[in-house]
């Protein structure tokens, strides 16, 4: 039986962190040298997005950590500890952290990514109105822009489809205007809502 099948059997086809049954996948808890039942868990898309800081942290979503932190599976313990640390500004999370016990080896693993030193804040690409931008979105320019190193002038109101987020810079996106890929500042765009 494949590892993912074994994990799905272990969790009863539910996310091992929040209990959801939607869009489940195997998650290899970093860092690790090889995958096994102790360091891999089954999680849903919402948990994955928040673990990977691709979505704002929703403390209500993580309420079940009060139960999952007691799991005997080291991978679940590690992720529970990391997420409780991110939520430590919430009294319930801090209380759970104070009660939680991890073996020395598991605690070393949990601290290995340094994720526990970070707070719950997530830096996302947002348009001029604060709407979250995703790869593939369409945006409208709210200002006419001169493109450096080119004679191209991108007019206000121009729709830029299928944008790409610039990694490591939440203030920039890439888009194609008149066949040319350019970098655009997020403060000059408004997300186009599909009609």
Would you say residue 133 lies in a domain? no
Choose among 117, 80, 119, 87: nearest CA to 102. 80
The answer on 90 and 22 residing in a single domain is: yes
The answer on 155 and 187 residing in a single domain is: yes
Give the CATH number, domain containing residue 168.
2.30.30.40
What tens digit of pLDDT does each residue of 63-121 get? 999 999 999 999 999 999 999 999 988 999 999 999 999 999 999 999 998 776 666 55
pLDDT of residue 180: 86
Q: Residue 175's domain spans which residues?
A: 139-191
Average pLDDT, the chain: 89
The answer on 113 and 157 residing in a single domain is: no
The answer on 150 and 88 residing in a single domain is: no
Residue 55 pLDDT grade (very low, low, confident, very high; cuts 50, 70, 90): confident
Would you say residue 62 lies in a domain? yes
The answer on 29 and 111 residing in a single domain is: yes
The torsion defined by the Cα of 131, 134, 138 and 141, in degrees rounded to 10, comes to: 50
Quote the number of domains for the chain.
Answer: 2
Residue found under tokens 């206000």: 156
Would you say residue 18 lies in a domain? yes
Would you say residue 131 lies in a domain? no
For the segment 164-192, the average pLDDT, to the nearest whole number, is 89
The answer on 90 and 173 residing in a single domain is: no
pTM of the model: 0.68
């Amino acid at each position: 039986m494949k590892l993912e099948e074994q994990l799905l059997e272990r969790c009863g086809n539910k996310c091992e962190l929040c209990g959801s049954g939607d869009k489940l996948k195997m998650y290899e808890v970093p860092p690790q040298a090889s995958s096994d039942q102790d360091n891999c868990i089954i999680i849903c898309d919402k948990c994955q997005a928040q673990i990977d800081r691709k979505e704002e942290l929703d403390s209500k979503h993580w309420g079940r950590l009060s139960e999952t932190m007691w799991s005997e599976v080291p991978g679940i313990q590690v992720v529970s500890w990391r997420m409780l640390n991110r939520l430590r500004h919430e009294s319930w999370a801090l209380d759970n952290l104070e009660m939680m016990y991890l073996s020395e080896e598991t605690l070393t693993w949990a601290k290995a990514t340094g994720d526990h030193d970070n707070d719950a804040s997530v830096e996302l690409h947002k348009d001029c109105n604060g709407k979250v931008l995703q790869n593939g979105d369409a945006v409208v320019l709210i200002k006419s822009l001169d493109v450096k190193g080119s004679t191209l002038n991108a007019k206000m109101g121009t729709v830029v489809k299928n944008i790409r987020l610039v990694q490591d810079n939440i203030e920039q996106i890439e888009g194609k205007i008149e066949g040319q890929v350019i970098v655009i500042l997020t403060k000059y765009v408004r997300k186009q809502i599909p009609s």
